[in-house]
């Protein structure tokens, strides 16, 4: 007699054990420490913190280790953990003008107050596999600039702003910014929610959208006004004190795109902005975010908005890789019942229409 | 007798630019009003304001609702406005693709308005769709075809059938024959004229083609730079134009 | 019974649960209306039932007895994983018997055994919006619901009949709740639709990724859309269950060999077991 498949529980347990074994790999090879991930896979840590929405290098490193280096899975782990954290409140806005700069470049001006600071970057390397690295060579010592960096490096957007050539940042209102992790996104979204959504959004998705806008699907005429990387102070106002105190320092990458805008009926010609910000050093992400941010403002600026990157509902609803990955992969779950229903329908429909071949 | 539509001081600005300005008129049941004027004179703007699709900057549009008589359509709230749009009114778009569901069959396109007002008998919906396709001279055996497979003239006729199936009292048409071949235009005009007369429809027809206006409209409004410069019975306006702009408009058309 | 250390009862913190309960109350007050809620990121992936889990976490108490099914069965991987999640984080008792459960979380089925007053059925919902395939824009569908502008929904059914001679929607079959809101019942087979109508149990629907909760309160009218001359009907099988002999339950087709061999068994494993027991007792 037929016996229905049973024993799901044991099978699942064993699947998990098998995965843990795979993760560990050959036990003869030393196990990876979180410190190694933090120190030597720093850019992966940065991405996981950015899209995972927690600034904590150690947690991100643990997530990467636990996910066997699958960054989308690591982001998911971090997000699920984030759900359980108590919330004390929001910090004061960080001041990127006061950033302790490690890297700062502008593609809009050859030179500017504070100069171009290349900092750590792959930009000018030849992408040749380095077999010396495989052999474990120690890096050459880098020579730092002989003079200290300028105290204050004005942001390029602020320089343009003094001449009134770039739109003002929308005046802040007294409303606290929205938070997608507490309230569902409701459309149309304001600037706060758009930027939060993009900051958490999948780097690959934003990259492709930004790229499509450059290839003619909604050109925004962008210039990389400025990209800066460095540490900023995080300040918090505890209710019992009533004034801000510094609670720590984080490294962020900020990208301000400067986009040409020919003006409209109400607004004279000027530059407009697209804004990108990410934890750690994530320039690709910050730039893509800035391009998409600007693209999504097409409607607001009275431009034709017919392309994917300009479609707020399309972009904001599909940017999150935890949502996307879950829903795509849920197709692995059983769909026996639905499939059974469709199977039965197809049979019935075929029975109702006489077979073409036999009819002929 | 109450007019079907009463328009008072209707103005629509686009920033500083005038879309249409200070338009007032009344439309009576069964009457066909033509709006003519050169390109950019504000015809589409006016029609959109009249048909509840573009909020005016100033002025009112009142419609003679069945239950409560004349009501300002912009004051009545969206639910009632939408109900009007799918029962009492029809809107024939210049581009039929804007007025059709291109992804569902011709029959469903015609049947949708019936279903929207509560029809729930498949057989009857289909019979009415079939009847209306015939009325607009589309073969009954095309009922299950997608509009994608229709010609431009057929699309326009399908759009007309979709709008008329619920027997509206008022139909708005923006260049119903625009973009069609001359011979197709003539047939469509003939059809439209017949339907409007048979059903006793009131209609507002925007066109820049005076021949179309002469054939369809009882009365004409001539627009220039957003304003109505002349209005009157169609034959009067076309045969004895008073305003210099109308004279120019009429004389610039080759007389048949 | 021990909960997992370091986590609150049923994983979510009390604030979050309260927020979800408020959404549920609103959903119960407006049957079929999709209430937006601040869906949290859960340790299970989206599409795996995060909405249902959050709803269950918000309504479950230490005295409840939980049953979890997927495709009608208690021992499918996803059902096992969710049941364990609550056994671990809430330490609640679990059961496979429909009659013993106070809370039942389900994916894709409604149990064959009729539910009773006091029970809660929690559905996992992938896409809550019934108008989604006609109109992808949230801003527009919201308006259509507000105005009960549902004519377009029948267009799809019309197209089915025109093309196939019958309504060709077999699961996630749209319903009108309490004569007002159009609702997706989640991908249950239409076979289960009639069970929603006037059900004595509270039916809650959670969509985590889409951040919506909706409800059908006890004894609420739920009508499957149809035409007068093509009335709604459910699937019927020519066979009976090969294990318990049930002739009126939803059957899964099982491929027994590669020569076209097939057999049919109940999709609801608890129903199947209890029918068997009854049969044996009678013999
Ligand atoms: N969306 C818009 N924004 C700004 N200006 C507009 C807009 N639509 C129309 N206009 C302006 O309003 C005026 C009237 O335009 P409208 O489209 O009503 O003219 P029309 O008479 O229908 O022309 P046509 O015969 O070419 O269709 C024009 O000056 C036009 O440029
Ligand atoms: Mg026009």
Q: Which ligand is nearest to the CA of B43?
A: 1
Among C6, C206, C241, C261, the one annotated catalytic: C241
Which is it for strands A270-279 and A245-261: parallel, antiparallel or unpaired?
antiparallel
Residue B232 covered by a domain: no
Specify whether C272 is catalytic: yes
pLDDT in tens, C198-233: 999 999 999 999 999 999 999 999 999 999 999 999
Question: How close is the nearest chain A Cα to the Cα of B14, in Å?
Answer: 9
pLDDT in tens, A188-213: 899 999 999 999 999 999 999 999 99
Residue of A nearest to B14 (CA): A265
Query: What is the rounded average pLDDT for all residues in chain B?
Result: 91
pLDDT in tens, C86-113: 999 999 999 999 999 999 999 999 999 9
Residue B180 has what pLDDT? 77
Specify whether C244 is catalytic: yes
Residue B162 covered by a domain: yes
Among C49, C206, C208, C244, the one annotated catalytic: C244
pLDDT in tens, A134-155: 888 888 888 887 777 877 788 8
Distance in angstroms (rounded) separating the CA atoms of residues A2 and C109: 23
Residue B110 covered by a domain: yes
Number of Cβ within a 10 Å radius of residue C54 = 30
Question: How close is the nearest chain A Cα to the Cα of B18, in Å?
Answer: 13
Among C32, C72, C206, C208, the one annotated catalytic: C32
User: In A220-320, which residue ranges form alpha helices assigned H by DSSP?
Assistant: 283-295, 312-318
Residue A73 dihedral angles phi and psi, to the nearest 5° = -65, -40
Ligand 1 midpoint to CA B46 (Å): 9
Residue C1 has what pLDDT? 39
Candidate from A79, A336, A341 with C-beta closest to C41:
A79
Residue B58 covered by a domain: no
| Contact map slice: C 85-104 vs A, CB within 8 A | none
Q: Using a CB-CB distance cutoff of 8 angstroms, which residues of chain A are in contact with residue B14?
A: 265
Lowest-pLDDT choice from A194-198, B104-108, B176-180, C41-45: B176-180
Q: Which helix (H) or strand (E) holds B92?
A: strand B89-92
For residue A266, pLDDT beyond 90: no
pLDDT in tens, B145-157: 999 899 988 999 9
**In contact, C95 and C113? CB cutoff 8 Å:** no
Residue B182 covered by a domain: no
For residue B8, pLDDT beyond 70: yes
Lowest-pLDDT choice from A271-285, B206-220, C181-195: B206-220
The residue contributing the CA closest to ligand 1 atom 30 is B40
Region C18-41 average pLDDT:
97
Strand partners, C103: C66, C120
- How far apart, in Å, are the Cα atoms of A140 and each of A20, A137, A143, B227, C242? 38, 9, 9, 78, 74
Q: How many domains does chain B divide into? A: 1
| Contact map slice: B 120-139 vs C, CB within 8 A | 120-123, 125-126
C163 and B144 within 8 Å at the Cβ level: the answer is yes
The residue contributing the CA closest to ligand 1 atom 25 is B39
User: Does C165 lie at the interface with A, CB-CB under 8 angstroms?
Assistant: yes
Residue C270: pLDDT band with limits 50, 70, 90: very high
Residue B190 has what pLDDT? 87
What is the CA angle C34-C37-C39, rounded to 5?
120
Instruction: Give residues (CB < 6 A) around ligand 1.
Output: B 14, 17, 19, 37, 39-45, 208
DSSP code at position C227: B
Residue B248 covered by a domain: no
Q: Using a CB-CB distance cutoff of 8 angstroms, which residues of chain B are in contact with residue A265?
A: 14-17
Residue C29 dihedral angles phi and psi, to the nearest 5° = -70, -25
Instruction: Spell out the residues 6+ positions from residue B37 whose beta carbon is closer than 8 angstroms to its own.
Output: B43, B208, B222, B223, B224, B249
User: Does C158 lie at the interface with B, CB-CB under 8 angstroms?
Assistant: yes
Specify whether C266 is catalytic: yes
Ligand 2 midpoint to CA B249 (Å): 17
Domain enclosing residue B105, as ranges: 101-166
Q: Which ligand is nearest to the CA of B23?
A: 1
Residue B122 covered by a domain: yes
pLDDT in tens, A15-40: 999 999 999 999 999 999 999 999 99
Specify whether C91 is catalytic: no
Ligand 1 midpoint to CA B14 (Å): 9
pLDDT in tens, B186-196: 888 888 888 88
Exposed, middle or buried, B214 (CB in 10 Å: 0-12/13-18/19+)?
middle
Specify whether C32 is catalytic: yes
Residue of A nearest to B15 (CA): A265
Distance in angstroms (rounded) separating the CA atoms of residues C207 and C50: 7
Looking at the CA of residue B42, tell me the nearest atom of ligand 1: 18
Residue B124 covered by a domain: yes
Ligand 2 midpoint to CA C137 (Å): 27
Distance in angstroms (rounded) separating the CA atoms of residues B208 and B97: 21
Write the DSSP assignment of B214-228 as a string of letters: HHH-SEEEEEETTEE
Number of Cβ within a 10 Å radius of residue A5 = 10
The residue contributing the CA closest to ligand 1 atom 3 is B14
Please say whether the dihedral angle defined by the alpha carbons of residues C235, C241, C246 and C252, taken in this order, is positive or negative.
Answer: negative
ipTM of the complex: 0.84
User: Does C189 lie at the interface with A, CB-CB under 8 angstroms?
Assistant: yes
Question: How close is the nearest chain C Cα to the Cα of A213, in Å?
Answer: 22
Question: How close is the nearest chain C Cα to the Cα of A320, in Å?
Answer: 10
How much of chain B is helix, strand and coil, in % rounded to 5?
40, 25, 35
Q: Which of B25, B105, B86, B106 is nearest to B59 (CA)?
A: B25
Distance in angstroms (rounded) separating the CA atoms of residues B215 and A265: 40
Distance in angstroms (rounded) separating the CA atoms of residues B19 and A210: 36
C163 and B82 within 8 Å at the Cβ level: the answer is no
Distance in angstroms (rounded) separating the CA atoms of residues B55 and B63: 15
Residue of A nearest to C71 (CA): A337
Q: Which of A92, A93, A94 is nearest to A238 (CA)?
A: A92
pLDDT in tens, A74-119: 999 999 999 989 888 899 999 999 999 999 999 888 888 888 888 8
């Amino acid at each position: 007699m037929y016996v229905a498949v049973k024993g799901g529980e044991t099978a699942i347990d064993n699947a998990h054990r098998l995965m843990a074994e795979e993760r560990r790999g050959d036990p003869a090879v030393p196990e990876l420490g979180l410190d190694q991930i933090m120190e030597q896979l720093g850019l992966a840590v940065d991405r996981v913190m950015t899209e995972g929405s927690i600034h904590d290098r150690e947690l991100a490193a643990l997530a990467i280790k636990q996910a066997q280096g699958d960054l989308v899975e690591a982001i998911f782990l971090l997000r699920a953990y984030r759900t359980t954290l108590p919330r004390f409140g929001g910090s004061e806005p960080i001041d990127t003008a006061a950033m302790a700069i490690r890297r700062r470049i502008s593609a809009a001006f050859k030179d500017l107050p504070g100069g171009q600071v290349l900092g750590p970057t792959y930009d000018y390397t030849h992408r040749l596999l380095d077999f010396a690295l495989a052999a474990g060579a120690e890096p050459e010592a880098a020579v730092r600039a002989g003079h200290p960096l300028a105290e204050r490096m004005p942001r390029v957007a602020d320089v343009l702003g003094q001449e009134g050539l770039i739109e003002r940042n929308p005046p802040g209102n007294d409303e606290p910014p929205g938070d997608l992790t507490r309230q569902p996104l409701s459309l149309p979204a304001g600037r706060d929610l758009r930027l939060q959504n993009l900051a958490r959004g999948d780097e690959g998705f934003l990259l492709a959208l930004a790229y499509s806008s450059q290839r003619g699907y909604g050109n925004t005429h962008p210039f990389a006004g400025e990209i800066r990387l460095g540490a900023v102070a995080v300040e918090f106002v505890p209710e019992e004190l009533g004034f801000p105190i510094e609670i720590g320092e984080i490294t962020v990458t900020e990208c301000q795109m400067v986009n040409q805008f020919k003006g409209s009926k109400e607004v004279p010609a000027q530059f407009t902005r697209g804004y990108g910000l990410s934890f750690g050093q994530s320039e690709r992400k910050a730039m893509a975010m800035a391009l998409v941010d600007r693209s999504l403002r097409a409607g607001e600026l009275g431009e034709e908005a017919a392309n994917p990157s300009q479609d707020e509902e399309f972009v904001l609803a599909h940017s999150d890789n935890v949502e996307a990955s879950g829903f795509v992969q849920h197709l692995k779950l059983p769909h026996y019942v639905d499939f059974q229903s469709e199977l039965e329908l197809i049979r019935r429909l075929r029975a109702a229409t006489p077979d073409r071949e036999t009819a002929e | 007798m109450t007019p079907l539509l009463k328009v008072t001081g209707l103005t629509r600005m686009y920033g500083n630019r005038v879309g249409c300005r200070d338009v007032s008129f009344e439309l009576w049941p069964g009457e066909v009003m033509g709006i003519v004027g050169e390109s950019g004179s504000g015809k589409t703007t006016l029609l959109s304001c009249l048909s509840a699709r573009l909020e005016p900057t100033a002025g009112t549009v009142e419609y003679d609702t069945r239950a409560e008589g004349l009501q300002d359509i912009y004051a009545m709230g969206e639910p009632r406005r939408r109900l009007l749009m799918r029962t009492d009114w029809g809107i024939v778009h210049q581009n039929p693709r804007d007025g059709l569901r291109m992804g569902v069959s011709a029959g469903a396109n015609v049947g949708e308005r019936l279903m929207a007002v509560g029809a729930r008998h498949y057989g009857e919906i289909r019979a009415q769709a079939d009847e209306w396709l015939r009325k607009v001279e589309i073969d009954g055996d095309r009922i299950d075809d997608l509009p994608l497979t229709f010609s431009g003239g057929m699309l326009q006729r399908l759009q007309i059938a979709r709008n008329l199936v619920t027997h509206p009292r008022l139909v708005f048409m923006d260049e119903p024959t625009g973009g069609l071949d001359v011979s197709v235009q003539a047939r469509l005009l003939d059809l439209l004229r017949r339907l409007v007369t048979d059903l006793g429809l009131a209609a507002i027809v925007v066109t820049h083609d005076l021949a179309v206006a002469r054939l369809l409209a009882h009365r004409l409004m001539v627009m220039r730079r957003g304003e109505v410069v002349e209005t009157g019975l169609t034959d009067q306006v076309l045969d004895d134009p008073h305003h210099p702009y109308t004279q120019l408009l009429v004389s610039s058309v080759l007389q048949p | 019974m021990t909960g997992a250390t370091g986590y609150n009862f049923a994983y979510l913190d009390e604030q979050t649960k309260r927020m979800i309960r408020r959404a549920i109350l609103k959903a119960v007050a407006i049957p079929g209306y999709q209430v937006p809620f601040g869906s949290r990121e859960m340790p299970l992936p989206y599409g795996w039932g995060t909405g249902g889990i959050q709803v269950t976490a918000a309504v479950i108490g230490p005295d409840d007895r939980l049953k979890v099914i997927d495709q009608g069965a208690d021992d499918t991987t996803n059902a096992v994983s969710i049941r364990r999640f609550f056994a671990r984080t809430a330490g609640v008792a679990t059961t496979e018997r429909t009659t013993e459960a106070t809370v039942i979380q389900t994916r894709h089925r409604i149990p064959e055994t009729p539910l009773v007053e006091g029970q809660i059925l929690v559905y996992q919902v992938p896409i809550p919006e019934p108008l989604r395939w006609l109109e992808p824009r949230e801003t527009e569908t919201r308006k259509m619901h507000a105005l009960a502008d549902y004519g377009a929904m029948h267009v799809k059914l019309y197209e089915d009949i025109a093309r196939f001679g019958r309504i060709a929607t077999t699961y996630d079959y749209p319903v009108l709740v309490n004569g007002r809101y159009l609702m997706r019942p989640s991908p249950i087979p239409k076979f289960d639709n009639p069970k929603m109508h006037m059900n004595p149990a509270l039916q809650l629907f959670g969509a985590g990724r889409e951040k919506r909760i909706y409800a059908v309160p006890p004894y609420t009218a739920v009508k499957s859309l149809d035409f007068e001359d093509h009335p709604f009907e459910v699937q019927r099988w020519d066979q009976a269950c090969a294990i318990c002999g049930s002739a009126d339950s939803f059957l899964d087709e099982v491929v027994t060999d590669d020569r076209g061999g097939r057999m049919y068994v109940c999709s609801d494993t608890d129903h199947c077991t209890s029918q068997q027991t009854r049969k044996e007792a009678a013999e």
